[in-house]
Structure 1
């Protein structure tokens, strides 16, 4: 929660204090300054206006940072929810497929207990069916393992986003406008992440529909490539901002402080 500055109290107390000071100075000259001509009062009004400007120059900066952070948290929540859904479905489907694999392997083991020479056409057909289904299940489990690794990489991307954007917000070398620009860039990357996760969910759901292995592999490969690119772009953007902050330091002491702030030492 950002600190709320009571601008009215600051100005009132400042104006009252200035009035007392002006009166004391005026008494030394024989008459209160507050009763002097309009030109003096005009100077006083200008001075009060400058106090207002100074106070309100601080307030919007704090408020804008707070608004940006609210937007960031909303974007993160959306991505994390999509990731959680994908992870849950992957885990559930993997468990189901592993159970199916064990059942098929047990059934095939029982058939192998008989001499293959004693098999009739029916037994051979059953065995071939089991074998075909087992290969499909193993292939599906392989898909899910790769999907899980893709989601893990997506999770790393979200973690880096949270870490570096929070650090940039606390870096005095960046203005409110620059922080807002960072938010727009990071938010765009997060939106792309949601699209990648949607495609991953399409792969997961495809096992309940008619989709060829080639189509599944194509979706997985494209999603993986995009996530790799998004992660590389995010790291490049974060590094660019850190370098900019380092370049804005004024001396070696400040440079060392910024390096420590970003964990670069």
Structure 2
């Protein structure tokens, strides 16, 4: 039995040695699997970082597009009102120029009266130019976010002021026409004045 026991003991040792070797290999496989998981996790994190970076870039790009579209929308929304304000300013300047040219040629007014009228006309036109300043502020406001309520208030204020200046100018022109008519001496002169002033 010595040989059988020796063979059994040798077989046990071989089995134990094989078991130990298998366990070592299994441990190495587990270590390799752990390394593979770490590598996969690192790769996933890198992919997620790339996706996040790409998403941030897209968000920034589309935010820029949105901001530009917002500015264009705001400009288009208020462009009609801007045109109205600019036309009011043109009317003021044109009516001033026409009236002042007629008054300068009219011999029924003294130099002092013409000078006073010029000062009044200049004051109205100068004050009305503040409307252009408001337009410039408005145009600059499209580069910063101004609320629609603030923008509308500024537009309405500017339009109201310009309409007031235009009315003042027309009233002053009317007063000058009436004064000229009062100073007329004949029916021919009255007819000429009415034609000259489109009365």
Superposed pair shares fold, TM > 0.5? yes
Q: 1:234 aligns with which of 143, 165, 169?
A: 169
Distance 1:218 1:200, change over 3 A: same
Query: TM-score when scaled to structure 2?
Result: 0.64
Q: Is the 8 A contact 2:71 2:143 kept in 1?
A: no
The yes-or-no answer on 1:164 pairing with 2:108 is: no
Secondary structure of the 1:211 match is coil
Secondary structure of the 1:191 match is helix
Larger RCO: 1 or 2 (CA < 8 Å, sep 6+): 2
**Alignment partner, residue 86 of structure 2:** 151
1:128-147 mapped onto 2 (5 Å cutoff): 137-147=72-82
**Alignment partner, residue 149 of structure 2:** 214
What CA distance in whole angstroms lies between the structure 2 residues aligned with 1:135 and 1:208? 10
Deviates further, 188-197 or 154-163: 188-197
Q: 1:247 aligns with which of 170, 179, 182?
A: 182
User: More helix per residue: 1 or 2?
Assistant: 2
Q: Is the 8 A contact 2:74 2:142 kept in 1?
A: no
CA root-mean-square deviation: 2.3
Deviates further, 129-138 or 160-169: 129-138
Alpha-carbon shift at residue 134 of structure 1 (Å): 5.1
Deviates further, 241-250 or 251-260: 251-260
**Alignment partner, residue 72 of structure 1:** none
Query: What number of residue pairs does the alignment pair up?
Result: 140
Q: Is the 8 A contact 2:131 2:162 kept in 1?
A: yes
Alpha-carbon shift at residue 138 of structure 1 (Å): 2.8
Secondary structure of the 2:129 match is helix
Q: 1:204 aligns with which of 126, 135, 139?
A: 139
Unaligned runs of 5+ in 1: 1-121
Instruction: Please list every run of at least 4 consecutive aligned residues from structure 1 whose deviation after the TM superposition is greater than 4 angstroms.
Output: 128-136
Query: TM-score when scaled to structure 1?
Result: 0.48
The yes-or-no answer on 1:192 pairing with 2:124 is: no
